[in-house]
Structure 1
Amino acid sequence: MKSQRATSRVLCKSLPFFAIIAAGAPITALAQTTDVPPSGPGAEQEGQEIVVTGFRRSLQAANAHKRDADIVSDGISAEDIGKFPDQNLAESLQRITGVQITRSRGEGSSVSIRGLSPEFSRVQFNGRTLGSGGGRSFDFTSLSAEFVSSVEVQKSPTADMIEGGLSGTVNISTPKALQIGKTRFNGTVEGVYEENAKKLSPRLSGLFNYVNPSETFGFNVGVAYEQRKYLQVQYQGYGAETGVESTRTPPIDYNRDGDFNDTYTFNHAQAYQAYPGTRTRFSIISNAQLKPKDNIELSLDYFHSDFKESNLWYENATRFTNIAPAIPGQPYGVTASTIDTSLAPQLLNGSAGFLTSVSATGLDHRASTFSQNSRKIINSGSLSGKITDDHMEVTGQASYSKATTNGLNNGFATISRATGTITHPDGIGAPPKVEYGGGYNPLDPSTFYLLTQDFFGGSNADELWEGRLDATYSFDDGVLKSLKGGLYFADRTNSAYDVRSSLNATQLNALSGGKLQLFPGWEGASGAVSARDILKPVSFGKSIPYYPSSYLVTDLDAYYGLISPAAIAAAAPPQVVRGSGFDVTERTMAAYVQAAFRGAQDRLSGNVGIRFVNTQTISSGLVPNLNGIIIEPGGVFTTIPDAAQASVKGDYHYFLPSMNVKYELSRDLVLRAAAARVLGRPGLGQLSAGTTVDANVRRINSGNPSLKPYLSDQLDLSLEYYLPKQGLLTAALFYKHLTNYIVNGQVAETRTVQLRGGGTQTLEFRRNQPVNFASADIKGAEVAAQIPLSYLGDALDGFGLFGSFTYLDAPKVPLFQGGPSATLDGVSKINYNAGAYFEKSGFGLRGSYTYRSSYSNGSGIFGDGDVTPAYGQLDASISYQITKAVSVNADVSNLLNAVQKTQNGFGLLDTYNLIGRRITAGVHVSF
């Protein structure tokens, strides 16, 4: 009986086929002959030789790990070195049951597991934590998939796993020299074509692996370079702002009733934007392994990533919130408006309704260009060792990781005063329509004036030391299979700060030698300079409703022809914003014991254990005097005076028990159950002791060093039915009881601010501070299927279907303390993927569709909620194995050119985003 089960596992251990195919794997056929004992209905006789393709071999490797594991997990294995399914790991992972992703510039950037925020998904690289340069969630755009050999999503924890993965742990593995086992080279040359940008960019990678003849020493080095030139075109709203008419500057009579006492809600701004940009990623991996004796192994591992992004941000914007004369005494004001009072119960702060249209003179109209540049560098290394002696195995690892992120943006507050009308002909859930009248020409540069040039950006450094020591003693017989214990230590320091500087009109006039003509009375005391000579029209012609055929933006070449960059840098070097950012040190010590057991003739197996975790934090920051806020009228730059240094300590400790049980009901039917308490730490920025201010959107943000960690008491139950020919049916139920859930504590504050050009202004701010407030229960179900159609006859050999479906039931919690409720951030009720494939004679074709229903992104800028509506995307791939050493492939991402949107809590459109299709094609060689 025991040997029959062991042989049947080779074929039947099966990760869901959809998780590999749908991930976009090049479907090749590196033919290999492998003796695979068959099992299941209609299986061939034992000992018959079966030809297994390289792709099927990769399935079997991942599937074997899934079935043998004592925990609830899924994973993806690369078909070969340099042949992971997607160029982006997040896009591969979204096809695994219960995994969702968020996108940046149309590219997968972060991973959610079973609906919880990406901050709760712990990502580790070859067993160690990688810093991400900003938060706890890992940014997958920094990580090339070229050298990833496997990815495992661990959904139920064990005591020996590093804590922090409240929703699950993503474990990324790269090839080890002695695991590859021979000297070889793999290389890939591809081109990446972006449909919107109509640009072709290179993607190159190569890995050399050396193993000595005695197979006691080996090393490898891999290098990958990728460039991506994109064009993102979108409409963006800035959120539903609620305000009293009298608090506008100057006051605005929105409903034209003769007084300024009414409170209304309106879209803070509506903007049509385009982002032409370039991303480049350079990666290095390296591994050296030494095995001086059969029972001793040493491994040295290194990873480097250098990710750069630069883009221009062209914007044509209008603002409800700023209706004023360009010069005092000129006419301004609302001439007509419509107000939807039916939305009043959903609005905040006693609003009487939402302004769905406004006709006005003196309407704020912007013609802006921003240049944005950022760079993220990650360096990580580890030294690990393993010693085995009879029944004892001792492993240890020491690692270091540092991630730094730096960014600097350069923007222009270029404004005109228009006569125009803003309407929502297709409803507030669609882009608005902006029309101009009264003789105003939006393409006339002589009507625009430059108020300020602003620089804003920031820096983050995330440094982490980790060490762990584990010892396992195995037993030959009896119920106790092994006893394991270990220690873990981590020391993490994460610091961030913002930088800003600004040049006003008087300075710009002086630096240009008078070429930028100064108008002292325009837009208040600070004045403005004429933008007539520094604007240009742009046109993108994309199919966003009411997107203007052309509009004016700042011409950077013309501008820097009048003022040299060196002169600007000398006059306005970026300065650290007082009170911005945070500095958090977090030290963790953990110890655990874990026992693995077996029974019922090895049909029953599992583990039970307990982990003790102690964490100490030190949060430092600057607390500013908010009575001295200085703003630039009409601009986006906020200055706060010198601040006092604050430092706050925190300390918490918890016991985290866990149990995982697996029972083989038959050789093809596996039942799993798991129970655990899991810990998730607050975001690093949430632990800040400092305070930041943004007068443009009336917001004050403070951290809370006293936050407690999230806790989840969770249960898992799953059933897996393994079919021959890599077929699989699975079903799972899970439950999480969350406590210490963090929401924003939010209060309104009225502050009198200083205007940089003179005078004061009274503004109402919304102050936010995270607090432990809520508890929540998340319940869910998962089903998945992988069905090779050869079951139906030989004519369908090579065809297959795959799919998965996840349902999540999560309660609503307050967007902020005392505010309206929304479903937990990141929770999509419905998630599924479905697709089909064909693989035969070296030819492969597949298509896959992934869908995620709407989910909340938080409270939004003005507390109006931020929601991402349902989104689905179709991807396709085709490949052919020319020879054993050479294959070609082509992949299309977002085949149907799907639109990505966000909206606020009552349906007002925030963003309508077109990123376009991305086509990748190339050749892979191996020798």
Structure 2
Amino acid sequence: MTKMRQYRSSTALALTLLMLPAAASAQQASGSNEAAKAVDAAPAQEEIVVTGFRRSLDNAAEIKRRSDVISDTISAEDIGQFPDQNLAESLQRITGVQITRSAGEGSSVSIRGLPSEFTRVQYNGRTLGSGGTRSFDFTAFSALFTSAVEVRKSPSADMIEGGLSGTVDVRSARPLDIGKTTLSASAEGVYEPNRGNVTPRVAVLGNWVNASGTFGVNAGVAFERRKFRTKQVTTYGAETSREAPLFDASGTAIAGGKSPPVDYNVDGDTNDTYSFTHGADYSVLDARRDRLTAIGGYQWKPGGDLELYGDLFYSQLKNQSTTDRAQTRFTDISPMFAGGNYGVRGSTIVTDYNSLLGTGSAGFLTRLDADGISLQAISRGDESKVDLFSIAQGVKWRSGRFSVQAEGSYFKATNTTRTFGLAAQARASAEVSYPDGIGTAPQVVFNRGFNQLDPANFYLTNEDIQAFTRNDRNYEGRIDLGYELGEGFFRRLKVGAYYNDRRFTNTSAYKVLTADQLAALSNGTLTVTPGVEGSGGIPASGFLRPTDLSGLSNAPQLLVVDQGKFGQLLSRQTYFEDQDITPQPGSGFDVGEKSIAAYARADFATSDDKLSGNIGLRYLRTRTTSAGLSPDLNGLIVEADRVTTTIPTADAVLVKSRYASWLPSLNLRYNLTPQFVARFAAARVIGRPGLGDLSAGTSVDANTRSINSGNPSLSPYKSDQLDLSLEYYLPRGGLLSIAGFYKHLSDYVLSGQTSQLLTVQYRTGGTATLEFRRNQSLNLANGDIKGVEVAAQLPFQYFSDSLDWLGMFGSYTLIDAPKFPRRQGGRAFPLDGVARNNYNIGAYVQKWGVGLRGSYTYRGRFSSGGGTFGDGSFTRTYGQVDASADVTISNRLSATFDVSNLFDVKSYQENSFGLLVTEAFTGRRFTAGFRLKL
């Protein structure tokens, strides 16, 4: 238990110190000493035992106060009692931190608006990854064994580089730090109304320390199962398509339009270019997520000057899901059989958005009435597993003024995914419109006698199978030497070296089975009707069913493939599990990074300790290797689905590169009064390019007509940054702070783009010459990010002892970020992930063994990608209320209850001119159970 001395401090004096820092500063040392004496002389009252959520706030404030850099912390109340179930959701309470959710659960963390790839994530000070990407997925990390999570926003020279936006350090308590033998356990049930299941969440953590307190070990294991349902409608954005053929100077057609051609404005020709909604994809995802986490460690202090320690961390996250999809593709209009009826009967076209749609657009279709619209009944199966293993061994030794610490570590993360999709096709007569505006889901009305619920209208045309394997492996070592210089201005000198050898690999494999191939596997239980979609289809009457799309806006009743019924005709093992898939030439990447760094850091302070800080310089040298395949683009084969592209031949290439960086840093802390702290920081930091950007390979997408090439010679992103903060520490654990930050970004990576004509061969026969966009990443842009952060945690006991049961907390972040084009010469979009306004506010009650807490978190509209067709994707403003409660039954037993997304809020995405791209919801999540401490 933590005990705090209760001070009787004048509220008026505290507010004066807060509001008049200049006057306080002018008093110099004498005034500060008098204030300190007044505090020390305050009459001591009874000792107050601080527990529950307030204790975690007190711990966090104390860590922030002692920090030698600008940072914020979320702290556990006690071992096994982190205040939130998900680390990312905890971190969103910190000023300047925003999170992205996956199925309603926090998954990735952004700091001060920069993309999550610029957030460096560490476990007990060492590198941690989650498989094939620089962005760490927090869904693979249990919070049950976490003692604190610190967000460091300014660096010092001894910190490992790479956190351009900041560093998140997840810490577990070592055995001797806990200092006693103890056992804690929890057993909870998780209930999600959208799915209707109760699933387990259990953990046990033991810590043993010998009688002399010189040796200790701990170990823990946790298991959590989550079953959830996500419903979603996706339109993919506005597709701008060339309806007319492209001719060269001689009048020869060199790039075809749609095949067959479509007259969208019903004027008798197809020589127009329009933008329109690609389609509406209604989906219901049922998933099970199992997370197993285990930790272990030891700590040995055989003598006062030597310490040995080691720890390991293991996490396995398994996902199994089935997604029922019913898709209408308004851009795919053709007959089911050759010579059949198809075409546009009527449309409404507006030109209000032409400036946003791109060059050559003749308007946007807000209404389309047509025959032959693609209507697909689909079911997808997905199996994925993320294995993460990390181990470290370290030693600390001190002799007089000299100290040394050395540590070696290793981690490996493997992310494997295998998925399939069964697609049945129909050709519908339907009208698509936006009765509620383009910011809502389109309305689809089937007409002219077409029944979308009649399975006889559908034919299974293909199955696609995909497999992905992502590996992230790292060897890491460091040595840090320290020397205490004495009581002069410079107090301590640190020097050290760091080495890491990291390798990322990503392989992708695709395969398409046609209707004929599926029928051949079935030994006669499936038959093919010739001529469907030009190649043949399997009548789908025996394996379709309606799906429940309730809760989605304007969702019609639609059919999907029933995997169970289809499995009775052709086993899942035959059509999926036993299928060999050849990796796609030119896809994926194999990137190696070897870095060596050296640093020097000096800590300093004035004789009265009012001014203190550190100054240092870090030198970094990185060598990269990138292996890949460079394909022959003259042999592209487009499959029957007109989406998947096969590249027949490719040559192996290996590209080497290197770069070096000098990274200076300065951190200052000035105690204006004993309670009032000012901080200043200046530094240069780097962020390494995305792994896909460093790829030496080339990939092709015939659906969007794009060629994507990596660039292994990219330089790292750079940021020259300044930070200034004022922190006022109230008695009884209160805190008020305001901070400003500035980052000058340089060498920002954009996509350089050129056009290229390629002749492709359709698997079903025939060729076409198509215009492709070749994209390659280049260091092209510079820009500035500026912002202000305000935070408060206020125990009401500060105002009156009778309010010792009540408190509030909150933060607000304002970010002003630049706009960058997504491709060279293109239209500028806001920096991905940056919401201008972000805030959270909450309150807690802690009295008589009962704790209640509620919070509201808001994130403003932000850019979330380029969009499927380059029209941008923006996540709309989102706010969510979460609440929790705990009841102390005895000194050893307590009951807990949590609810996430209390008001069942949906999330939305739109494109650059307000067209709805995604509407999705997972619903509320309730957790209740017991915690035991022995």
**Normalized against structure 2, the TM-score is what?**
0.93
Whether the 8 Å contact between 1:746 and 1:816 is mirrored in structure 2 is yes
- The one-letter code matched in structure 1 to 2:553 is P
- Alignment-derived partner of residue 186 in structure 1: 184
- Alignment-derived partner of residue 234 in structure 2: 236
Whole-Å separation in 2 of the counterparts to 1:400 and 1:569: 35
Whether the 8 Å contact between 2:822 and 2:866 is mirrored in structure 1 is yes
Whole-Å separation in 2 of the counterparts to 1:467 and 1:707: 26
1:836-871 deviation digits (Å, cap 9, x = unpaired): 111111111111001011111222221111111111
* Secondary structure at 1:685 match in 2: coil
Whole-Å separation in 2 of the counterparts to 1:485 and 1:479: 18
- Alignment-derived partner of residue 826 in structure 1: 833
- Alignment-derived partner of residue 20 in structure 2: none
Whether the 8 Å contact between 2:6 and 2:45 is mirrored in structure 1 is no
- The one-letter code matched in structure 2 to 1:546 is N
Whole-Å separation in 1 of the counterparts to 2:566 and 2:482: 67
Whether the 8 Å contact between 1:503 and 1:572 is mirrored in structure 2 is no
Unaligned runs of 5+ in 1: 1-5, 13-36
- Alignment-derived partner of residue 516 in structure 1: 526
* Secondary structure at 1:218 match in 2: strand
Unaligned runs of 5+ in 2: 11-34, 245-256
- Alignment-derived partner of residue 30 in structure 1: none
Change (3 A) 1:66 1:40: farther
Whether the 8 Å contact between 2:82 and 2:144 is mirrored in structure 1 is yes
1:515-574 deviation digits (Å, cap 9, x = unpaired): 3221221101x2222112121122242x221122x4211111221211233433598421
Change (3 A) 1:540 1:570: closer
- Structure 2 counterpart of 1:106, from 88, 101, 104: 104
* Larger deviation, residues 244-253 vs 277-286: 244-253
Whole-Å separation in 2 of the counterparts to 1:600 and 1:832: 40
- Structure 1 counterpart of 2:613, from 588, 603, 606: 606
* Secondary structure at 1:575 match in 2: coil
Change (3 A) 1:127 1:679: same
Deviation at 1:122, TM superposition (A): 0.3
- Alignment-derived partner of residue 531 in structure 1: 540
Change (3 A) 1:108 1:718: same
1:453-483 deviation digits (Å, cap 9, x = unpaired): 1101210111000000000101221001100
- Alignment-derived partner of residue 278 in structure 1: 288
- Structure 2 counterpart of 1:721, from 725, 728, 731: 728
- Structure 2 counterpart of 1:805, from 780, 791, 812: 812
1:463 correspondence with 2:477: no
Whole-Å separation in 2 of the counterparts to 1:658 and 1:162: 13
Whole-Å separation in 2 of the counterparts to 1:117 and 1:475: 41
Deviation at 1:623, TM superposition (A): 1.0
Whole-Å separation in 1 of the counterparts to 2:733 and 2:41: 12
- Alignment-derived partner of residue 197 in structure 2: 199
- Structure 1 counterpart of 2:209, from 184, 196, 211: 211
Whether the 8 Å contact between 1:324 and 1:363 is mirrored in structure 2 is yes
Whole-Å separation in 1 of the counterparts to 2:228 and 2:328: 26
Whole-Å separation in 2 of the counterparts to 1:118 and 1:270: 29
Whole-Å separation in 2 of the counterparts to 1:148 and 1:875: 20
Whole-Å separation in 2 of the counterparts to 1:905 and 1:39: 60
Deviation at 1:297, TM superposition (A): 0.6
1:418 correspondence with 2:428: yes
* Secondary structure at 2:732 match in 1: coil
1:221-241 deviation digits (Å, cap 9, x = unpaired): 100000000000011112221
Whole-Å separation in 1 of the counterparts to 2:126 and 2:39: 42
* Larger deviation, residues 786-795 vs 315-324: 786-795
How does 1:858-873 map onto structure 2 within 5 Å? 858-873=865-880
- Structure 1 counterpart of 2:844, from 818, 828, 837: 837
Whole-Å separation in 1 of the counterparts to 2:659 and 2:50: 52
Whole-Å separation in 2 of the counterparts to 1:11 and 1:642: 78
Whether the 8 Å contact between 1:373 and 1:408 is mirrored in structure 2 is yes
1:372 correspondence with 2:379: no
- Structure 2 counterpart of 1:318, from 328, 352, 364: 328
- Alignment-derived partner of residue 225 in structure 1: 223
Deviation at 1:252, TM superposition (A): 0.7
- Alignment-derived partner of residue 250 in structure 1: 260
- Structure 1 counterpart of 2:855, from 841, 848, 857: 848
Change (3 A) 1:7 1:597: farther
* Secondary structure at 2:663 match in 1: strand
Deviation at 1:114, TM superposition (A): 0.6
1:316-368 deviation digits (Å, cap 9, x = unpaired): 11112110001111110011111121111111231111111111000000110
How does 1:7-406 map onto structure 2 within 5 Å? 45-46=43-44, 49-53=47-51, 55-246=53-244, 247-406=257-416
- The one-letter code matched in structure 2 to 1:544 is L
Deviation at 1:385, TM superposition (A): 0.7
Whole-Å separation in 2 of the counterparts to 1:501 and 1:201: 35
- The one-letter code matched in structure 1 to 2:546 is P
- The one-letter code matched in structure 2 to 1:538 is T
Whole-Å separation in 2 of the counterparts to 1:368 and 1:173: 44
Whether the 8 Å contact between 2:52 and 2:851 is mirrored in structure 1 is no
1:433 correspondence with 2:443: yes
- Structure 1 counterpart of 2:552, from 544, 551, 557: 544
* Secondary structure at 2:541 match in 1: coil
- Structure 2 counterpart of 1:444, from 444, 451, 454: 454
* Larger deviation, residues 843-852 vs 788-797: 788-797
Whole-Å separation in 2 of the counterparts to 1:626 and 1:9: 76
- Alignment-derived partner of residue 768 in structure 1: 775
- Alignment-derived partner of residue 17 in structure 1: none
Whether the 8 Å contact between 1:497 and 1:576 is mirrored in structure 2 is yes
Deviation at 1:292, TM superposition (A): 1.2
Whole-Å separation in 2 of the counterparts to 1:841 and 1:337: 67
1:435-456 deviation digits (Å, cap 9, x = unpaired): 1001100011111011111101
- The one-letter code matched in structure 2 to 1:305 is S
Whether the 8 Å contact between 2:61 and 2:735 is mirrored in structure 1 is no
- Structure 2 counterpart of 1:679, from 683, 686, 691: 686
Runs of 4+ in 1 over 6 A off after TM superposition: 6-12, 37-43
Whole-Å separation in 1 of the counterparts to 2:385 and 2:208: 33
Whole-Å separation in 1 of the counterparts to 2:271 and 2:55: 72
Whole-Å separation in 2 of the counterparts to 1:9 and 1:784: 23
The count of residues paired between Structure 1 and Structure 2 equals: 895
- The one-letter code matched in structure 1 to 2:285 is Y
Whether the 8 Å contact between 2:549 and 2:555 is mirrored in structure 1 is no
Change (3 A) 1:748 1:700: same
- The one-letter code matched in structure 2 to 1:410 is F
**Normalized against structure 1, the TM-score is what?**
0.94
Whether the 8 Å contact between 1:10 and 1:60 is mirrored in structure 2 is no
Whether the 8 Å contact between 1:482 and 1:595 is mirrored in structure 2 is yes
* Secondary structure at 1:666 match in 2: coil
* Larger deviation, residues 795-804 vs 129-138: 795-804
Deviation at 1:513, TM superposition (A): 2.9
Whole-Å separation in 2 of the counterparts to 1:540 and 1:325: 28
Whole-Å separation in 1 of the counterparts to 2:446 and 2:547: 18
Whole-Å separation in 2 of the counterparts to 1:436 and 1:54: 57
Whole-Å separation in 1 of the counterparts to 2:684 and 2:262: 55
Whole-Å separation in 2 of the counterparts to 1:168 and 1:265: 40
1:22-50 deviation digits (Å, cap 9, x = unpaired): xxxxxxxxxxxxxxx99988995147533
Q: Percent identity?
A: 51
